[in-house]
Structure 1
């Protein structure tokens, strides 16, 4: 194509072809579509009545990625589907009450007695207010409004307090409801608490962790976790009443020595059932140290409805426990 000369003698650009016009047009349309989508999403986030459908979509995507199947959130059958249904629909005021690690202590004391509670050394709204010198040489520092926010201090003398304050402030800034959509964490007051550090009888010093799956006030399943946080960590499922192992549920020990639950563990199922009697389901975590039980926490949404079972059989088995089929 020959160039076109303007009267001034300057050479002009050749005429635009169809492809030259289409590319910028497509880019403009795509940009407009993206802008409209972003604006609609921001508008939806500001409308409370859209919380549930938005949470359902996000939860479905997360479960699909983790579990490999599309969950049925209207008619749950598997355990993970039941947990998801609870996240989206169960609005019992007891859920946030027992999710908060501070207010849960009052609930447990009323249900099972204060002897079950690990000694408390303080509650603070700000990390800068922690009186480090007044705390014992060993303690557990936790955030009350979330999960996996724990600092186990085994020797206060070597604790880097500035680093601990920085970590605590990061915890206080987190909002698990915004991250996971789990209703029980919505509007919980960010706080810190320090409890005594409970030492276990095993060589690792970590107490045996008994997690009871309580359905409608009855402990139906137990998973025992040993040596958490060490290379020997492992778990196994048992029947709560007679402590019979359930190999088909998966899990196992990494340590070389076989494990037999102590006789004192038989009394824990009754405690767990009492603590879970106000819910259709809750996981009750108890510790055993020196033959004495201690309260750990109440968990309403295990793994955010994304437990990776060995197969669908286990997922369905626990779902049938929830629904009363077995």
Structure 2
């Protein structure tokens, strides 16, 4: 009862929670993108959104959503199609193997899947089921989660245009395990996110303690691996991450994949000394995670040179 009361109280008094909840229900779907983003920016960041002369990184991300729209972006965020696109750029060796792709959950033949695998929705963020042991997998719970995500139009939540026309599908991927650390699995693979501007890596983020969203830590480094003192949605790790052995190769891959783009984040994993592609992210935090101190929002904003409308 107390939990229900707390949820109702948060809905009434917390603007961000109320706005997010109504957005997921489709309450604001009818609002034009520019008006919606101005409203969301005010709710989440607390400032008016300046689209005429954006200065901060978060402001420029909203501008890109509205005015930098290319058909190939849809393919690049599609978790299935992006694999083929990336493989054509850097080769198949960097791609986590796909075990199957389906449009309906009931079409999945679990008997043909290995004992361990990962299910993902191709068109959203969060549609994920990790199977460590098929004999204990709750298929009904997995079905409920995946089918809920298949129905969700992810584009409407933060108006990330590339997702608007991604076909909703399900893929199964190989379950990745790092033999150097038997406790390291798909949930905690070493995760490196490279922030690229006009085809050049300017800095990167390394995630730590990714067992849950609440415990995730993030540290930032420039391309020479000097630590950068700012936060962006997560606290710093208690133990500062070390430079990976394959760092230079990661830089090279990221710059190949970001060539010709004003901005993209290239997400890579390191597993058993091998680099694997994760995803391409155009709008980090959808442009709504606060960068602190605020000076860094402006510094990163200066790295992003907006193209012509």
**Alignment TM class, shorter chain as reference:** 0.7 to 0.9
Aligned residues, how many?
272
- 1:97 positional shift: 1.1
Distance 2:231 2:139 in 1: 42
Please, what TM-score do these two structures have when normalized by structure 2? 0.83
Structure with the greater alpha carbon radius of gyration: 1
Residue 246 of structure 2 corresponds to 264
Distance 1:77 1:203 in 2: 45
- After superposition, what is the alpha-carbon deviation per residue over 1:105-143, rounded to whole angstroms, capped at 9, x for unaligned? 111011111111001000000000111111122111100
1:60–1:70 contact (8 Å) kept in structure 2: yes
The 5-angstrom pairing of residues 30-109 of structure 1 reads: 45=30, 54-109=32-87
- 1:273 positional shift: 0.9
Given candidates 105, 113, 116, the residue that maps to 1:127 is: 105
Distance 2:230 2:78 in 1: 34
1:244 corresponds to 2:222: no
Q: Over aligned residues, Cα RMSD in angstroms?
A: 2.0
Given candidates 314, 317, 320, the residue that maps to 2:296 is: 314
Given candidates 128, 143, 149, the residue that maps to 1:171 is: 149
Secondary structure of the corresponding residue to residue 84 of structure 2: helix
1:259–1:188 Cα change, 3 Å: closer
1:235–1:157 Cα change, 3 Å: same
Residue 140 of structure 1 corresponds to 118
Please, what TM-score do these two structures have when normalized by structure 1? 0.79
Residue 22 of structure 2 corresponds to none
1:226 corresponds to 2:208: yes
Structure 1 residue ranges without an equivalent (≥5): 1-41, 46-50
Identify, as 1 or 2, the structure richer in helix.
1
1:222–1:202 Cα change, 3 Å: farther
Moved over 6 A (4+): none
Residue 180 of structure 1 corresponds to 158
Distance 1:248 1:165 in 2: 40
Structure 2 residue ranges without an equivalent (≥5): 1-26
- 1:224 positional shift: 0.4
1:202–1:78 Cα change, 3 Å: farther
1:301 corresponds to 2:283: yes
- After superposition, what is the alpha-carbon deviation per residue over 1:207-249, rounded to whole angstroms, capped at 9, x for unaligned? 1110011111111110001231247531100112x22211245
Distance 1:301 1:248 in 2: 18
2:56–2:299 contact (8 Å) kept in structure 1: yes
1:135–1:79 Cα change, 3 Å: same
Distance 1:156 1:137 in 2: 5
1:204–1:68 Cα change, 3 Å: farther
